[in-house]
Structure 1
Amino acid sequence: MRLSFHHVIGALLLLFSALALIVPDLSNTCLFLLVLCGVIDLLSPSRLQPAPRALAWRRYWPLFLAMTLPAVAVLLHQAGTGDFNSRDYDRPLRLAVFVLVFFAVRRVRIEKGSWLSWAWVLAAVLAFVKAWRVTEGGSLPNTGSLGFMAGIAFSNMALLLAVWLLVSLRGERGRLLLAAKVLAVALACYVTFMIKTRGTWLVLPFYAVFFVWYLKNLRPWQKVLIALFPLILLGAAATQSEMVRERLHEVQSNLADYATGANRDTSVGQRLDIWRASWLMFEEHPLLGIGRENFKPELYRLAARKLTSPGIAELPHSHNGMLFQMALWGIGGLAALLLVYLVPLVYFFRELRHPDMRVRSYAAMGVTLCLGFWVFDLTDVMFFWVILNGFYAINLAVFLVCMDNCKADWSQPRQGERP
C-alpha cells in the first residue's frame, strides 16, 4: 500500500517535471492529484510518515501561511465590498494548497538517483522543439502564444529549467547525463531568443549577481566573466540575429516615442501606460482594491478621462505582478504577493552555506525560482497564467523536500561518530 502510494506520487512528479510545459492541462491535473495525495497523507497515521509530521509543521508553518495570503487578500476585498465572486479564488487557491502538495512530495525521495535531472533535460528538449515549430526556427519577429501558454510565460519557464540544470552540473559525475545537461541548457536558453521576450532577458543580470555571490570559491576573473555573461550573451545573440537587434533597439525608440507623446501605443509605451493606470486604481482604492471584474471598466474610465491611452483598455492585466495585485486587492494583495516570494526565499537563503553541496544546490535552485518569478513579475503577471501557480507550488515543494532530505542524510553519519 505504502509502496504503491509512493510510486503514484513519484510518477506525478516525473510527468509534471518533464511534460507540464508541453501537454495541455497536465500541470493542473498533476497539481490536483498531488493535493489529493496530500490529503491522504495527512489523514494517514503518523507512523507511516517518512519523517515526523509535527517537525515539518513547526519548521514551515510561516511558509504554509504565506502561501494562503493571496486567497486571504481576495476574501478581505470581497468581505469589504460585498462583491462575492468564486472565480476570483481560482488562481490563489492553487497556491494555498501548497501545504498539501508539500506533504505529498515528502513521501518520495526525489533526490535519490538522477530521474529529476533527466526529466528536466527532456522538458528542455521538448520546449526547444515546440518553440522551433511555433516560431519557425525563430524567424517570426515576436511570439505571443505557444498553444496553451503565453510566449513570455513559456520563455520564462524555459530559462528557469536552464538555470536549474546549470546549478545541478556541480558534482555531476555521469558523463552521459553531464553532456545531456549541457545540451539542454543551451537549447533552453535558445528558446528565449526564438520567442524574443525581453522580459525574460531582464532576469539575467539578477542571476549573474546571485551566482557571483553564491560561488564563493571562484577566482576574480571567473566572477567578472559571470557578471559580464548577460551582456556577452545578448551581444552574441544580437550579432547573429537582426530580429534580436530590433527587439533591443525597440526599447529605446519606444521610450523616446512615449516621452515625446509621438506614440504611446508601442509595446513599451502600453506597459508604461497600464502601469500608470494600475497605480491610479490603487491610489483611489488603496485598502481593498477594485476587484478583478472591475479592472477593464476602470481602464475604459481612465481612458475616457484622458489619463491613459485607449489602446490599453483591452489588456488583460497590468504587465506587472505587484501593480496588478495592488490594483485588484489593494495593500493586502501587494503584501500577500511579496510574502509568497520572500518567505520561501528566506528558507532557501539560510541553506546556501550548508557544508553539503547537494543541500546548497537545491537551496540555490529554490532561490532562482523565487528570484526569477519576482523579476519576471516586473514585466508580466506570473500568477495570472493558471499553469504557473501550480508550477511555482510544486517546484517549491520539490526543492524544500530535497533540501531537507539531503540535510538529514548529511547529518546521520556524523551523529554516529559522536560519543
Structure 2
Amino acid sequence: MEATAIRQACDVGVPDTPKFELDSPVSLILKNMRFSPVAAWSAAVLLFLAPALNLIWRGGTGYCFFLLLAMALYAAVRNRHVSEYFSPLREYPWYVAGMCALLVAIIVQQAIYGMWKPRQFDAYSRFALAIPIFLMLRQMPARSFRAVGWGCAVGALVLGALALLQRPAGGWTDADRLNNDYTNAIPYGDTALLLAFLSVFTIGWDGKYRKLAACLKLVALIAGGFSSYSSGTRGGWVAIPFFLVMLGVQYGWFANAKRLAVAGAIVVVATVGLFSTPRIEQRVHDFSADISRLTNGDPNTSTGIRLELWRASVHLFTEHPVYGVGKGRLESSMEQLSKQGFMPELVVNERAHSDFFSTLAESGAVGIVCLFAFYFGSTVYFWRRRRSTDPFIRTAAWSGMAVSASTIVFGLTIDVLVPIMVTVLVALLSAAFLAAIDAREREISAAQR
C-alpha cells in the first residue's frame, strides 16, 4: 500500500510518472505552503494565456504577468514566516543575480551620473519582478506547467492563421512585411519563431493522447514558422539551427546512425525547400546587395546601418569605458558623432540594433558584465538538468534553454531587451520553466521519503 501511494504521489501527466493525489506528500507540501488548488488553477490559466496573447493582444502578456505578480506578492506575505518558501533565493543564486543585474546597473549608473530617466527601468524591471513569481509558481503541482506549452502552441497556431488570412495579393514582401499594430516585423517574427519551437520542445510533457498532442504541436511549429517566414526576419532565422540541434539532443535524434541519417535528411530537404522559395531567395539576395552597396560607400541598407551603428557603439565605449554614455542617451551621443563626421546622420538611432552593442555603448564594461550575468543566470540551471532521467525535468530544462538561446541569438542583430512585450515574455517563460523543474524535483523528493 505504501509503495503504491508513493508511485501515485508524483504523476504529472508524462510517461512513467505517478499521479498527484490529494493525500500525497506533495499535496501536504502545498498545504503547508498554503497554495490552494484554485490559486494553482488560476496561475496555470495565466501561464497559458501569457504566450498565447503576446502578439495578438497588446499588453495581454503584461496583464497576465502582473496578475501573477499580485498573486505572488500575496503568497509571499502569507508565507513570510515559512523559510522554505524563500529558500530558492539561496538555491538559485545565479538566477536571482542574473534577473537583477541589469536593473541594478542602471540604478547605479543614474545615481553616479545624476540622471533621472525612470522609463529606462521599465523593461529590465520585468526580470527582477519575475523572481517573486518564480517563488510562487514552484509551489504548483508540476503537471500544471503543461499549460505553458499549450499556450505557446495556441499562440503559434493563431499567428499562422493570421499570416494566411491577412496575406496580401502577391504574398508578403519586404515592402509589406507581416507584423501587428504595436510592434514591427523583427520582434514579431522572432517571437513567432520562439513560440513555434517551444511548442515542440514541450511535447515531452504530454502524456495522455501524446500522439495527438505531438501532431497538433507539429502543426503549431509549421504555423509559427510560416508567420516568422512571412515577417522576413533574417536575423531570427539564425536561431533555427540551434533549435534543431537542441531538439535533436533532447529527443535522441543523434542516438545512432539511423536516427541521425533520417533527421539529417529531413533537415536537408526542408532547408532546400525553403531556400528555393521566392521569399528566402529575395532575403538572401538583399543581404548580398547590402554588402555590395556598403563596400561602395553606401551604408543606407539594413546590413550597412547595423554595421555603422555597431562601429559607433564601439567608439562611444572607448570614450566611456566604465559606465557608458548613459542608458537612454545613445541617440543624442550618436548625433554628436554625426556632427563630428564620424557617422552618417541617416544612421543615427536610439538603439544599436544589438543587445551587446547597445549595452556596450550605453552601460560600458559594467553593463556588459551584467548582460553576461543575465545570460548565464537564465541558462545555467537549465543546462545542469538537461540530462535528467526524469522526462518532465528534461523537457523543462530544454525548453528553458531554448528561451535563453533565443534571447542571445536574436539579440545579436536586434535589441531584444528593449520591447516590453518581449522582456515580459522572456522573464515569465524563464521563471515558469525553472519553477517547473523545482516543483518536479520537490515532488520526487517528497515521494521518496
Q: Same fold judged by TM-score > 0.5?
A: yes
Match of 2:400 in 1: 366
Match of 2:100 in 1: 68
Give the 5 Å matches for 1:239-278: 239=276, 241-261=277-297, 263-278=298-313
**Equivalent position amino acid for 1:201 in 2:** W
Separation in 2, partners of 1:230, 1:199 = 19
- Shift in Å at residue 224 of structure 1? 5.7
Separation in 2, partners of 1:403, 1:82 = 42
Match of 1:201 in 2: 237
Contact 1:208–1:227 under 8 Å retained in 2? no
Q: Relative to 1, partners in 2 of residues 1:3 and 1:211: Cα closer, same or farther, differing over 3 Å? A: closer
Match of 1:287 in 2: 322
Q: Which of structures 1 and 2 has the larger relative contact order (alpha carbons within 8 angstroms, sep 6+)?
A: 2
Please say if 1:384 is aligned against 2:418.
yes
Cα deviation 1:23-55 (Å, max 9, x = unaligned): 1111121222222211111101368x8x93143
Contact 2:109–2:326 under 8 Å retained in 1? yes
Matched residue of 1:111: which SS? helix
Range 368-377 or range 325-334, more displaced: 325-334
Please say if 1:297 is aligned against 2:332.
yes
Give the 5 Å matches for 1:154-173: 154-170=188-204, 172=206
- Shift in Å at residue 194 of structure 1? 0.9
Which residue of 251, 272, 281 maps to 1:235? 272
- Shift in Å at residue 94 of structure 1? 1.4
- Shift in Å at residue 155 of structure 1? 1.3
Cα deviation 1:376-396 (Å, max 9, x = unaligned): 000101011111111011111
Match of 2:379 in 1: 345
Contact 2:44–2:147 under 8 Å retained in 1? no
Q: Relative to 1, partners in 2 of residues 1:117 and 1:86: Cα closer, same or farther, differing over 3 Å? A: closer
Cα deviation 1:195-222 (Å, max 9, x = unaligned): 1100111112223343455555522354
**Equivalent position amino acid for 2:275 in 1:** A
Contact 2:161–2:223 under 8 Å retained in 1? no
Q: Relative to 1, partners in 2 of residues 1:309 and 1:338: Cα closer, same or farther, differing over 3 Å? A: same
Please say if 1:32 is aligned against 2:57.
no
Give the 5 Å matches for 1:19-168: 19-45=53-79, 52-109=84-141, 111-112=143-144, 114-136=146-168, 139-142=171-174, 143=177, 145-168=179-202
Match of 1:181 in 2: 217
Q: Relative to 1, partners in 2 of residues 1:110 and 1:158: Cα closer, same or farther, differing over 3 Å? A: farther
Please say if 1:355 is aligned against 2:389.
yes
Q: Relative to 1, partners in 2 of residues 1:11 and 1:178: Cα closer, same or farther, differing over 3 Å? A: same
**Equivalent position amino acid for 2:97 in 1:** L
Cα deviation 1:298-319 (Å, max 9, x = unaligned): 2222222222222211x33111
Structure 2 residue ranges without an equivalent (≥5): 1-34
- Shift in Å at residue 4 of structure 1? 3.6
Separation in 2, partners of 1:393, 1:311 = 34
Matched residue of 2:125: which SS? helix
Matched residue of 1:167: which SS? helix
Separation in 1, partners of 2:248, 2:123 = 35
Match of 2:3 in 1: none
Separation in 2, partners of 1:150, 1:126 = 18
Q: Relative to 1, partners in 2 of residues 1:221 and 1:28: Cα closer, same or farther, differing over 3 Å? A: same
Cα deviation 1:299-345 (Å, max 9, x = unaligned): 222222222222211x3311110110111111121111221111121
* TM-score where L is the length of structure 1: 0.90
Aligned length: 410
Range 265-274 or range 100-109, more displaced: 100-109
Separation in 2, partners of 1:305, 1:283 = 16
Q: Relative to 1, partners in 2 of residues 1:213 and 1:298: Cα closer, same or farther, differing over 3 Å? A: same
- Residue identity over aligned pairs, in percent, reads 22
Contact 1:165–1:185 under 8 Å retained in 2? yes
Structure 1 residue ranges without an equivalent (≥5): none
- Shift in Å at residue 72 of structure 1? 1.1
**Equivalent position amino acid for 2:159 in 1:** A
- Shift in Å at residue 117 of structure 1? 3.4
Separation in 1, partners of 2:313, 2:268 = 32
- Shift in Å at residue 182 of structure 1? 1.5
Q: Relative to 1, partners in 2 of residues 1:215 and 1:5: Cα closer, same or farther, differing over 3 Å? A: closer
Contact 1:205–1:230 under 8 Å retained in 2? no
Q: Relative to 1, partners in 2 of residues 1:225 and 1:326: Cα closer, same or farther, differing over 3 Å? A: farther
**Equivalent position amino acid for 1:12 in 2:** L
**Equivalent position amino acid for 2:64 in 1:** C
Q: Relative to 1, partners in 2 of residues 1:134 and 1:150: Cα closer, same or farther, differing over 3 Å? A: farther
Range 61-70 or range 180-189, more displaced: 61-70
Matched residue of 1:140: which SS? coil
